[in-house]
């Protein structure tokens, strides 16, 4: 069956209007901070030989930060956008012996192996809500014991009043930073294609998956970082 949501998202990130490295900070408020929080949330010894999976590795900002912080780690990055992966490969070329980049829809494949750390940044909200839940259950299954899942993502509130405020904030943010076709493309993506859910829903899915320690560690406006330990 055709998955229109996945096709829309893949087309968005493959589109010629998008130069994600140039616009990442213009479309994700506090993008660098969010990625730094993800790296800092990983509690493994910095010199350990951990295996990491990055869901929606994109152009590799988060992967670059993790591979720099963990010099013996190996990272597998999955992404279905060939354009994003091409840029990622260039960015991560200095780590070429420690990476595996897979072009695939992470909702459709079995993950290649088990990992100590599964991360995702600004990606899971792109999937249909049922798939977001299934992905968290799949992440749990593919973690080693004491492994950690860390997700930094767009979220929404459970209050319509706050959601309106968050929407105004984010729309103004995009309008201040972008213009023309690029602005139009990101407004459509943000308000028609994205499927953010409440932080409470994310944490409930972790609970349902049987993660034993669950915590939200950072929030800023319509973004949050949270983790679960298996």
Rule CB under 6 A: say whether 58 interacts with ligand SAM. yes
Does 3 participate in binding ligand SAM (rule CB under 6 A)?
A: no
User: Which position among 41, 76, 107, 151 is part of the footprint of ligand SAM (CB under 6 A)?
Assistant: 107
CB of 123 to ligand SAM, least distance (A): 4
Site stretch for ligand SAM (CB under 6 A), options 92-100, 117-125, 181-189, 210-218: 117-125
- Site residues for ligand SAM, 22-51, by CB under 6 A, read 24
Q: Minimum distance from CB of 145 to ligand SAM (Å)?
A: 26
User: Which residues, at least 6 apart from 181, have a Cβ–Cβ distance to it below 8 Å?
Assistant: 17
Whole-number Å distance between alpha carbons of 16 and 212: 43
Q: At its nearest, how many Å lie between ligand SAM and the CB of residue 203?
A: 21
Determine if 196 is a binding residue for ligand SAM (CB under 6 A).
Answer: no
Q: According to the binding rule CB under 6 A, does residue 6 interact with ligand SAM?
A: yes
- Span interacting with ligand SAM, options 75-83, 164-172, 212-220, 222-230, rule CB under 6 A: 75-83
- Among the listed residues 41, 126, 142, 222, the single contact to ligand SAM using CB under 6 A: 126
Give the integer Cα–Cα distance in Å for 221 and 33.
13
3-state SS track over the chain: CCCHHHHHHHHHHHCCCCCHHHHHHHHCCCHHHHHHHHHHHCCCCCCCCCEEEEECCCCCHHHHHHHHHCCCCEEEEEECCHHHHHHHHHHCHHHHHHEEEEECCCCCCCCCCCEEEEEEECCHHHCCHHHHHHHHHHHHHCEEEEEEEEEEEEEECCCHHHHHHHHHHHHHHHHHHCCHHHHHHHHHHHHHHCCCEEHHHHHHHHHHHCCCEEEEEEEECCEEEEEEEC
Residue 102 touching ligand SAM (CB under 6 A): no
- Find the part of the chain contacting ligand SAM (CB under 6 A) among 115-123, 169-177, 201-209, 213-221: 115-123
**61: contact with ligand SAM by CB under 6 A:** yes
99 touches ligand SAM (CB under 6 A): no
Using CB under 6 A as the criterion, which residues of the chain lie in contact with ligand SAM when the complex forms? 6, 9, 13, 24, 56-59, 61-62, 78-81, 84, 105-107, 121-123, 126-127
């Amino acid at each position: 069956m055709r998955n229109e949501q996945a096709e829309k998202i893949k087309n968005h990130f493959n589109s010629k209007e998008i130069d994600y490295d140039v616009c990442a900070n213009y479309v994700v408020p506090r993008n660098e901070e969010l990625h730094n929080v993800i790296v800092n949330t990983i509690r493994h010894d910095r010199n350990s030989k951990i295996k990491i999976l990055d869901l929606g590795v994109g152009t590799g900002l988060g992967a670059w930060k993790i591979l720099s912080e963990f010099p013996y780690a190996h990272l597998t990055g999955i992404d279905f956008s060939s354009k994003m992966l091409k840029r990622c490969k260039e960015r991560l070329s200095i780590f070429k012996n420690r990476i595996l980049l897979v072009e695939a829809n992470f909702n459709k494949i079995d993950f290649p192996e088990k990992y100590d750390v599964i991360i995702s940044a600004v990606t899971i909200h792109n999937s249909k809500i049922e798939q977001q839940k299934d992905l968290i259950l799949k992440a749990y299954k593919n973690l080693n014991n004491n492994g950690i899942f860390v997700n930094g993502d767009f979220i929404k509130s459970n209050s319509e009043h706050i959601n309106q405020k968050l929407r105004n904030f984010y729309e103004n943010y995009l309008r201040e930073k972008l213009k023309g076709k690029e602005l139009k493309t990101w407004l459509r993506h943000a308000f028609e294609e994205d499927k953010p859910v409440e932080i409470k829903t994310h944490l409930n899915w972790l609970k349902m998956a049987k993660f034993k320690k669950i915590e939200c560690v950072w929030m800023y406006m319509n973004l949050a970082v949270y983790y679960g330990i298996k």
